[in-house]
Structures are given as C-alpha cells and as structure tokens.
Amino acid sequence: MRKLSPEKIVDSFKSALGSDFIEVKIYQREMAIKKNLFTSLWIHVKRQAFRKAVEHICELQEYPHLAIISSSDRGDDVELIYHFTIYYGQHLAELSLGLRVDVPKNDLKIPTITDIIPGALFTERETQEMMGVEVVGIPDSRRLFLPDDFPEGTYPWRKDETGPPQDMFKVLPGRQQKWQQVKE
C-alpha cells in the first residue's frame, strides 16, 4: 500500500467522511540532535461516521494498530479517543492517529469495532465498565477489571454523580485533613 503524507491522509478523511469530519490537529516536533520529525494526527469525527472512519483507517493500513481507547468526562459529553498507529514496520515511517469522537451523556452508545479489529475487545470492555459507555454489539460484555460485587451504575472514571461515592474510599489515618483539601 502506498504511504500518504499527513496532509494527504487528512484530505482522504475529508473526502471519505464529508460533513461528518469535524476538525484535525497535526502535532509535529523535531527530536534530539538530528531533528527528525515526530508527527501525530488528531482527527475529530461525528459519532454517526465513527465506523466509517475506522474502516477508512483500515484502507490506509491493512492491520491498523489500536493502542488503547482513552475516555474523558467532559461534562455533557464523554470524549473517546481511539489511539491508532499506522505505517509501522519501517524506520521513521509510523504515524500516530488519534480518532476522536464525542458521545453525549444522554445517549452513551458507541458501536463496537471488534468485527474489524478483534484485539479491541479488552479496551472496549474496560471503557464500558469504567466510563459507562455502552459498546453496542460487543461480543463479550463481561467486566474486565472491576470485581463482580462492584455496584452497578458506578463508573470510576466519571466526574459526575455516577463517579465513585465518598464512602467508597478509605482514607488513611492522619490524611483526613489533606483529603478534604484535595476534595475542595
């Protein structure tokens, strides 16, 4: 497969997704003495075009590497970033590609991509239990890390009322005051 430059990749996303493409950020830095370029792309798409965007990444690279899904509680939305890398296997050729998608809290759903990338299962299970984002069509919806007796409807990574309640933490003796300061 022919390797595209970062700008060309952005153009290919724009033509594939049309109005569902929101924005792109290109981060570049020169490294150490030889000043070789380190490039990462952050592409923001609408949720309805998310699967299409992942399929498009598969057109750029036969087996794109999905490192992890990171999720942030942004108030009304949950922001998911799928951290992909493409063009690996050659010196200085790889590109990091963060695929960003916002999921509104009143409809916390995202389609699964395990049919495209089977290895995405663990991170989808983790996103589901930690952030409360329902992954539609996930082949194995069990919890990954949380114990079975962890209460339903509590999500450790959330910053709203569904986050872990105060009485779930055990504050060490002598640290009470410091803990209060941190909470305030």
Partner 1 sequence: MAASKGIERYTIPVGPIHPALKEPIRLDLSIDGEEIVDVDVIVGQVHRGIEWLGMNRNNAVQNIYIAERVCGICNISHPFAYIMAVEQAAGITPPERAEYIRVIIAEMERIHSHLLWAGIAAHEIGFDTVFYLVWRVREEIMDLMEYVTGNRVTKAMFQIGGVRRDITEEQFPRIRQSLDYYKSIFNQLKTTFLEDITIRMRTKNVGILKAEDALKFLAVGPTARASGVTKDVRQDQPYGAYADLDIKAITPDMVTGTVVGDVYDRIIVRLLEVKQSIEIIEQCLAQMPPGDILAEPKIAKLLNALKKAEGEGVGRHEAPRGECIHYVRLEAGRETLATWKIRAPTYTNLMSIPTMLKGGQIADVPIAFASIDPCMSCTNRAVLVDRKTNKKTVLTHEELHKLCVEKMRRLKAEFDR
Q: Are 48 and 110 in contact (CB under 8 A)?
A: no
Smallest distance from the beta carbon of 147 to partner 1, in angstroms?
A: 7
Nearer to partner 1, 48 or 63 (CB): 63
Smallest distance from the beta carbon of 153 to partner 1, in angstroms?
A: 12
Smallest distance from the beta carbon of 115 to partner 1, in angstroms?
A: 11
**Residue numbers at the binding site for partner 1 (CB under 8 A):** 27, 29, 31-34, 36, 38, 40, 42, 62-63, 65-68, 70-72, 81, 83, 85, 87-96, 98, 117-123, 126, 130, 143-147, 149-151, 156-157, 164, 167-170, 182
CA distance 142 to 140: 6
Nearer to partner 1, 32 or 136 (CB): 32
What residues contact residue 168 under an 8 Å CB cut-off, 6+ apart? 154
Name the residue among 102, 105, 5 with its Cα closest to residue 45. 102
Structure tokens at 72: 């942030």
Nearer to partner 1, 107 or 151 (CB): 151
What residues contact residue 80 under an 8 Å CB cut-off, 6+ apart? 69, 70, 71, 100, 101, 102, 103, 110, 127, 133
SS3 state at 67: strand
